Structures are given as C-alpha cells and as structure tokens.
Structure 1
Amino acid sequence: MTDLQIIGSEEWCIFENLGIPAIKARVDSGAKTSSIQATNIKVVNRGAQEWVKFEVNPLQENRSITIPCEAKLVDRRMVKSSSGISEERLVVRTLVKMGEHKFDLELTLANRDTMEFRMLLGREALMDRFIVNPAESFQVQSFTDDEVNKKYAPFYKEKTGLKIGLLASNPNLYSNKRIMEAAEARGHEIVFLNAELAYMKLDAHSPEIRYRGGNILKEYDAVIPRIKPAVTFYGCALIRQFNTLGVYCQNSAEAISQSRDKLFSSQLFAKNDIHIPITGFAKSPMDTKDLIKMVNGAPLIIKLLESTQGKGVVLAETNKAAESVINAFKSVNTNILVQEFIKEANGQDIRCFVINGKVVASMQRQAEKGEFRANIHQGGKASIIKITPEERKLAQKAAKVLNLAVAGVDIIRSNKGPLLLEVNSSPGLEGIENATGKDLANAMIVAIEKKLRFHN
C-alpha cells in the first residue's frame, strides 16, 4: 500500500496512441470501467479483427477541436449510467500516461457531452496503482491553461466563424431574417433548416440528421431553435438529436416542451414561489361552477393549453358565459386553463426579453380598444418601459425555472404586485426591437459565441 501513489479527484491523462495530448478525467472509484467522450463511432473490419473509429472533443465546452481516433475493439458491454439507464457500449484498449505511470487501459466509448468531464477514470485503472484523496486535485501532473493551449495549438482549424443552424419553419419571418442577418454580420455561416424537412437516423454507433435529398447535417457548432407550436413534438426530437451529435442548442428540447405546456409550467412557477394569476384546471364539466368560483368568478380568462401569440385565449365576462365556453371545450376533450382576470391591468402587459439570465430589453404592450390581450400579433401597440427591480427579478427567475437561455417573459401589473402570465421559448423580435431600438438578434448570436468561447 505504501508504494501506491496518491491521486486526486481529477487528473490529467495522455493518450499518445490516440493522438490526445491531454484530457482531464474525473476519478470515480464507484465506476468499474473508465470511459471517454466519443462521437461518430463506427466499427470497421480489418481482416479478422474489428476496429473502432471515433472522434473525441477532449476539451469541455470547446467543440472546435475534434481529434479522430481509432483503436482495436475488445468488447461490447451493457453499462448502466448514473441515471440508471443501461446501454451497450463499445470497449477499446489503449495506452494511457499519467505522470510517470504508463499502463494499458480499457475505455468504454460514451456520449459524455453533457457531463462536466470528458473522461471518467474507473477503479480498474486505480487498482494496485493509486490511492484516491478526493480532497485533492492534479496530484500526478498538472497543466496550466497556457500549457493546454500549446498542446492543442496544432488542432485549431483556421476558422473565421461558427456554423449555425436556424431550426424553424418560415425563413421570411422578421425574427428569422434578423437572426440570419445578425449571424452573417458577425462573420458566421448560418443555414436555415426547415424542421419539417429534416429526418433522423437513430443508432447507438452512428446517429445522424439528414435533410431533404439525403444531405447529412454535420459540423454544426450551434442550433437556434425557433420551432412553431404545431411541430413542437417533432422539433424537440430534432433538438435532442442535435444535442446527441454534440451540437449546442440555444434552448433545450426539455425547456421548450415545458414552456409549451401551460399547465406544467404553471405548476413549476407555483412550486418555485413565482406569483401567477389564480389558475384552475379540471377534468369534469360537473366541477365548472366551483372552478369559476375558485378563480374569483367572472370576468375570467379561458385559454387553451397550447395557445400562443394570444390565439386560443377567451375573455368570459359573466359566469354564465364562462360556463358555456368551459363546457363547450370540455365536450370535445380540449384541455383548458381558467385564470382570474386582472382588471386593473387595463389591457396592458410587459414583455421582458431574457438572454442567459439577464433582461436585455423590455416593452409595454397595450391592447387595442375593446380587446383584453395586449398582443402585438393582434393589433396591440408596443412602447419602451423601465421595469422595476421586482419585475426584473421575476422575469429572470421564470426563465431560470424553465431553463431557457432565450425567453420572452410576459408580466402583468396587479394590485398584488407583478404577476407572471407566461413564458415564450421562441419570442418574436419585431415588436420589441422596434419599441426599444435594441439589436436583440445580435445579442442572441453574441450569447452563442460566449457559450462556445468563440472570439470574433
């Protein structure tokens, strides 16, 4: 035991045979086998032997460096992840160097893109070699940032910009055109991708996304999802597939799905102490009268769970009218929410545009005379407004609860203070850019550059 070297909870590993000059590993004695992040995995035959070709992005949050690797396939194993899901992984054997130590190591090839570390060092590698002190780090060898950059200098590609995909449906919409203009102005290549023309290959070893005509969508650095509600299910499946391929998606599939489910998002807001108008939801029409009473009676708002841009939202001015509308919706098995009407708002609400946890622009929307919703798409008028610290905090918290990097947060002022109306995962740019004079499309692209650590 006294001959064993003490290592920390994280250490640097060098794989000369794979061409990886340095990769940071999490030391985990709870895992039997070591694993390394790998994408584009393909098994090839060389005579009677099977080899594996794969690509490694060795630096966390830096997809600009990709190292092609190949090694002999030694096994296929069922491995249970930390989330409890079992999956088949390919296993290779290669030489690893840790300080003065050199030894053969078995590695499972896994998609660790969402993990903090690109490599995990399991107990098979530790046995008879090391003792782990979890309170320490880099006991075997340590590299400074400058040393790491120097090691990877030959791998940096000559690149003037990122390759970005805009996943949407209509390239002629103001918001989509502005985003494409902003990306091009900053020197990036941006491609409009119609979500309904893309299709996927689901495979553990070589997953793909293809586009109309069979073109393989590859080498994208980032995707900006702007999917319309009608294709939420399929669009989110595409976003998950892009994520599997190691592409950064500005809003995740889970965040978009949550924002589109008004019942679920309302439950999340209430759970996280975010004040919303009193909201009711019921299955049976027999509960209609008590449902109306629960939200303080008419006038009240009735909205479809999948409503967007003010569509599918109805104001019932009397209890009788509310009963008729609710029962009509229930008779055709349509899910609705019933919400108290904030009369003192006088047809006004506030849209806050949030990017990476910061409110970058705010506008006030005023409904047309006779209308109760201040939606720009339905004739509402927008003007710049200075929000209060309480409103700013509410908008930031709402976006954070849904884990949205880009969000349009709608707030209404009431006698009880600011209330959250809803959160839009694909907020429009036209109204708020015109009202505030701010270049929000550019801000979205800058946010992607910062996330990917791209210096323009």
Structure 2
Amino acid sequence: MNEQKIIVGCAEWLSLPSLHVPAIKARVDSGAKTSSLHAFNIQGFKRNGESWVHFEVHPIQKNRKTTIRCEAKVADRRIVKSSNGEREKRHVILTTMELAGKTSTIEVTLTNRDNMGYRMLLGREAMQGRILVDPSEELCHGELSKDDITNLYGVPEKKSEGLNIGILASNPDLYSNQRIMEAGEERGHNMHFLNIKHCYLKMEAEHPEVLSRGGHSLNMLDAVIPRIRPSITFYGCALTRHFESIGKFALNTSDSISQSRDKLFSMQLMLKHGLDIPTSGFAHSPMDTNDLIDMVGGAPLIVKLLEGTQGRGVVLAETKKAAESVINAFKALNANLLVQEFVKEAQGKDLRCFVIDGKIVASIERTAAAGEFRANIHQGGQASIVKISPEERTLAIKAAKAFGLQVAGVDIIRSRKGPLLLEVNSSPGLEGIETATGKDIAGLMICAIEKKLGWKPQPKEESPE
C-alpha cells in the first residue's frame, strides 16, 4: 500500500484551499501529534448558534505585509503543550490541505508561530494513512521562488490611512528596527526609516524643520521612535529634541534618553527616587582607589566604564590587586568609571523587564555564557521566560517612570538583600525578548503611539454576525 502514500521530506510547500491560503511552507514533524498554523488576531464568534473563529495569517515566513484573513468553524478548544514546554489553550479547526496534488481534511490548532522557523507545522495525525516521511529529504514536491510567491499573493497594497511614524536610528537591517517597521505597516501606518546621520535641523522662528539628505522635510511626521546608538547620543538627542519642539510626539523624549545614557547621573537619579542599586563608588583621583574598593565590600568587584554599552567596558576584578590595576589603568587613560559590588549569589543571571507605557509587557531571565560573569545576549548569553515577583515588578515600573521613559528595558539582579536595579535602557533590543516570549513587543510599541495620539484603526469592511 506504500505506493499510494505521498513521500515527503522534513519541509514541504502545501496549500489550504478552504482558508484561501494558496501556499505555505510547513515543517513536517512526526513527533508532534497535532498540526498547527500561525494565526493572530484570533477572535471567536457565534454564527447560527455555532462557534466560529476568525483570524489572520502571515503565510510567508519573515513577511508581515502579506496577510490572509480567514474564518472557520471551531471543532474544539484544547490545551496543547508546545515544544518549549508551555501549555496553551487553542482553537482547533478542520480545514482542507492540498499536497502533491492530493486533497485531505486535517485538524489544525491556531497559535502565534511568528518566532518559529515555519508558519505551519504538519503533525502525525494529519499524515496517518496517507504520508510517509523521509527526514533526509526536503521539498520533495518542489520549491517556490520569490516570483512564484508574488504571482500567488500579489504585491501587498500599501495602506495610507494611518499615522506617519519615523524610526530615528542608524542601521535599517537590525532586527529591532525591522520589527518596528513591520509592526507599524501591519497596523496600517506609513513607516519611515530615518538615518540619524542623514538628518539635519533648520532653526528658524517662523518655520523650523527637520530635514533628511536631499532637503526633504520631515515635518509631516506624526511621531518618532528614537533608537539611538550610544556613540551618537548627543546628535540623536538633538534631533529628537527638535522634533519635540515642532510638536511631534517622541516615544522616548530627548531628556529621558540623555538621562539614561549617563551612567553616573542615572544611578544618582535611581537613588533620588528611592530605588535600590548595588553599592557603587565614583572618584576622580587614583589616590582614592583603595577607598573605592573598600566601600563596595572589597574584591571581587565590578569596574564599569561610564561610556560602555551592551556589556562592553565592564570588568570583573577578582582580587584587590587586580582591582587596583584595572582602576588605575583606566584612570591613566582619563576614563571615567564606576566601581560596584559583585553580587555573587546572582550566579551570572539578571532580569530584563520590558516596560511600555507604565506596564511590564514581558520579562526574561538572561544567563551569562560560559566563562562570562554577566548575562548578555550580545555576548552569547541565553534568555528564557521568567515569572517576576511583585517587588521586582514595582521596581521596574518605578525605574521607567523615574527616567520618564515610555519604552524601557529595565535590568534587575536578584540578591540576598532583594532585587537591585542595574540599568535602565532607553533603546532596548527586541530580538532576545520577542524570541523567548513569542510576544509582539514591536506591535505594543506602535499601540503606545496610537494611544497617545488618539488614533484608532479604521473598521473592517466585513465583520461576522
């Protein structure tokens, strides 16, 4: 009977005709019982007394512009355990699948697979009796080119009824910048990437402007999202300040960014607001090195350059002699530095709490890479979902408020004395926290702008009864 079965590899293109999805690349996984489909904006409703669900699908991986709106009758609601061990209650639907010219009806659960490798997973229940898997092969029934996908889906129409939002940054290829652009476009806004170095100011009483290279005025923007590299903080904040002065909303203000970038000032600001931090010391003269070491409890201790970022310029001195050498070497270079107690019980872990508009929207625990003493995703560290305590939650929210930040990445370390505030980041990266939590953090940032400016999406032309 095997000759009647379809032989597939570890991934295949297929279609879902009843959902009007002409092509979607699925991961073939006989280890998973149930198939799953990437879906978002999932909403149940009643039709003729029966349970239905409508939802949206991005059928092409790494493409948020192509969207298919679907609806289907609900077959079940079921608790499903994902590959990372999380349990989630999902809608279950029955839909038709076409693969290798053969059509069958399969059961599919709806879930957000945005951070997974494939938009669909084909489980063993959908394969029983009709499909054989050769895991050494892939795309046994053909690959689709970009032209093929364009022919199937067309070019997404650009929506124009939304806000004009600019991302003030340096690198359009960074994950965080791409995600914010995608999230804004997905919600119907006109997104503009503004290279900080290509922007300049016109300061005039009657008609002040921010312009981009070539003399193009940026005064048409409704809002800007500053994503400023530490190395160009001064100029980036000057641009942000000018946008603010001409009445444009900045998701993080120039003052809040400036305060967060000055490590010494930021720690003084934390203390002013009664926020607990690791014991730290600062001095100008090398003559005070021994006092600095003693005031933080001696070695081992942390030495931090005030201009460092993303873990750079942070040194662990394990002995008093090593601490003296590092401190004096930095001071000989006229570098400003902080000396800070080393919290051994943290075991190379810290918490990153992502705060948007005064609420914690996601939290992760970061673990240092082997051989490192500080957790840092940029240096090979790992991230995982974590449940934070009410005390940690309060500390993170108060910290973002103290700096006046609408969007902040708040770093906290757990110690015997309780949670301690390490740093407040005004341009927190999205990749680590979105990947670990599966949450649309970029979309929540766009929502914060919509809320501030009182913008609401246009109602859809069709809605279920």
Q: Same fold (TM over 0.5)?
A: yes
1:285-434 aligned within 5 A: 285-434=286-435
Q: What is the alpha-carbon distance in structure 2 between the residues aligned to residue 204 and residue 445 of structure 1?
A: 31
Deviation for aligned residue 1:380: 0.4
Q: Report the residue type matching 2:254 in the other structure.
A: A
CA distance in 2, matches of 1:223, 1:272: 28
Structure 2 distance, partners of 1:323, 1:242, is 45
Q: Give the aligned residue type for 2:320.
A: N
Corresponding letter in the other structure for 1:412: I
Question: 2:291 is matched by which residue type in structure 1?
Answer: D
SS in 2 for 1:254: helix
Say if 2:430 is the partner of 1:442: no
Give me the TM-score of the superposition, normalised by structure 2: 0.64
What is the match of residue 198 of structure 1?
A: 199
Q: Distance in 1 between matches of 2:417 and 2:324?
A: 27
Structure 1 consecutive aligned stretches of length 4 or more whose deviation exceeds 4 Å: none
- Take 1:382 and 1:256, find their aligned partners in 2: how far apart are those partners? 25
CA distance in 1, matches of 2:410, 2:352: 6
Partner Cα separation in structure 1 for residue 237 and residue 205 of structure 2: 19
Matched letter for residue 373 of structure 1: R
For residue 202 of structure 1, report the CA deviation from its aligned partner: 1.1
Q: Who is 1:231 aligned against?
A: 232
Alpha-carbon separation, structure 2, partners of 1:409 and 1:306: 18
Q: Deviations over 1:25-58 (max 9, x none)?
A: xxxxxxxxxxxxxxxxxxxxxxxxxxxxxxxxxx
Aligned-partner residue type, residue 285 of structure 1: P
AA aligned to 1:427 is P
C-alpha distance in 1 between matches for 2:276 and 2:204: 44
CA distance in 2, matches of 1:415, 1:311: 26
Separation in 1, partners of 2:395, 2:309: 21
Note if contact 2:353-2:396 (Cα within 8 Å) is conserved in structure 1.
yes
Give, in angstroms, the shift of residue 271 of structure 1: 1.4
Q: Distance in 2 between matches of 1:370 and 1:417?
A: 26
Alignment partner of 1:178 is 2:179: yes
Deviations 1:394-445 (A, max 9, x none): 0000000000000000000000000000000000000000111110000000
User: How far off its partner does 1:159 sit?
Assistant: 6.5
CA distance in 2, matches of 1:293, 1:425: 32
Distance 1:270 1:292 in 2: 20
What is the DSSP-based 3-state SS (H/G/I as helix, E as strand, rest coil) of the residue aligned with 2:411? strand
- Is 1:265 matched with 2:266? yes
Distance, in Å, in 2 between the alignment partners of 1:206 and 1:272 is 39
Secondary structure of 2:165's aligned partner: strand
- Aligned partners of 1:285, 1:415: CA distance in 2, in Å? 31
Residue 21 of structure 1 is matched in structure 2 by none
**Secondary structure of residue in 2 paired with 1:283:** coil
The secondary structure found in structure 1 opposite 2:240 is helix
Q: What is the DSSP-based 3-state SS (H/G/I as helix, E as strand, rest coil) of the residue aligned with 2:271?
A: helix
> Is the CA contact (8 Å cut-off) linking 2:251 and 2:406 kept in structure 1?
yes
CA distance in 2, matches of 1:425, 1:298: 31
Provide the C-alpha distance between the structure 2 equivalents of 1:216 and 1:438, rounded to a whole number of angstroms: 35
**Distance in 2 (alpha carbons) for counterparts of 1:347 and 1:258:** 27
TM-score (norm 1): 0.65
Q: Are the aligned partners of 2:164 and 2:191 in contact in 1 as well (CA < 8 Å)?
A: yes
Q: Give yes or no for contact 2:160–2:188 (8 Å, CA) kept in 1.
A: no
Residue 304 of structure 1 aligns with an amino acid whose one-letter code is L
Q: How does 1:100-111 map to 2 (within 5 A)?
A: none
2:285 aligns with: 284
Match of 1:282, as an amino acid? A
Deviation at 1:312, TM superposition (A): 0.9
> Matches of 1:295 and 1:361 in 2, distance apart?
32
SS at match of 1:448: helix
How far, CA to CA, are the matches of 2:305 and 2:206 in structure 1?
41
Q: In structure 2, give the amino acid aligned to 1:370.
A: G
Partner of 2:156: none
CA deviation digits over 1:105-136, x for unaligned, max 9?
Answer: xxxxxxxxxxxxxxxxxxxxxxxxxxxxxxxx
Partner SS state of residue 264, structure 2: helix
**Equivalent AA in structure 1 for residue 444 of structure 2:** A
- Cα distance between partner residues in 1 of 2:168 and 2:332: 36
Following the alignment from structure 2 to structure 1, what is the Cα–Cα distance between the partners of residues 230 and 432? 20
Q: How far apart, CA to CA, are the structure 1 residues paired with 2:372 and 2:447?
A: 37
Aligned residues: 299
What amino acid does structure 1 have at the position aligned with 2:456? H
Query: What's 2:92 paired with?
Result: none
CA distance in 1, matches of 2:361, 2:435: 14
Residues 127-142 of structure 1: pairs in structure 2 closer than 5 A: none
TM-superposed CA distance for 1:331, in Å, is: 0.9
Partner of 2:210: 209
Q: CA deviation at 1:316?
A: 0.5
Q: Structure 1, residues 71-119: CA drift from partner, whole Å, max 9, x if none? A: xxxxxxxxxxxxxxxxxxxxxxxxxxxxxxxxxxxxxxxxxxxxxxxxx
- 1:284-332 Cα deviation digits (max 9, x unpaired): 0000001100000111111111211111111111111111111111111
Indicate the larger mover: 408-417 or 196-205. 196-205
Per-residue deviation at 1:203?
A: 1.5
Q: Following the alignment from structure 1 to structure 2, what is the Cα–Cα distance between the partners of residues 249 and 404?
A: 10
Distance between the aligned counterparts of 1:219 and 1:201, measured in 2?
15
Q: Which residue of structure 1 aligns with residue 107 of structure 2? A: none
**Equivalents in 2 of 1:159, 1:329: separation in Å?**
53
Give me the CA root mean square deviation: 1.0
| Per-residue CA distance 1:131-162 (angstroms, 9 max, x = gap) | xxxxxxxxxxxxxxxxxxxxxxxxxxx96100
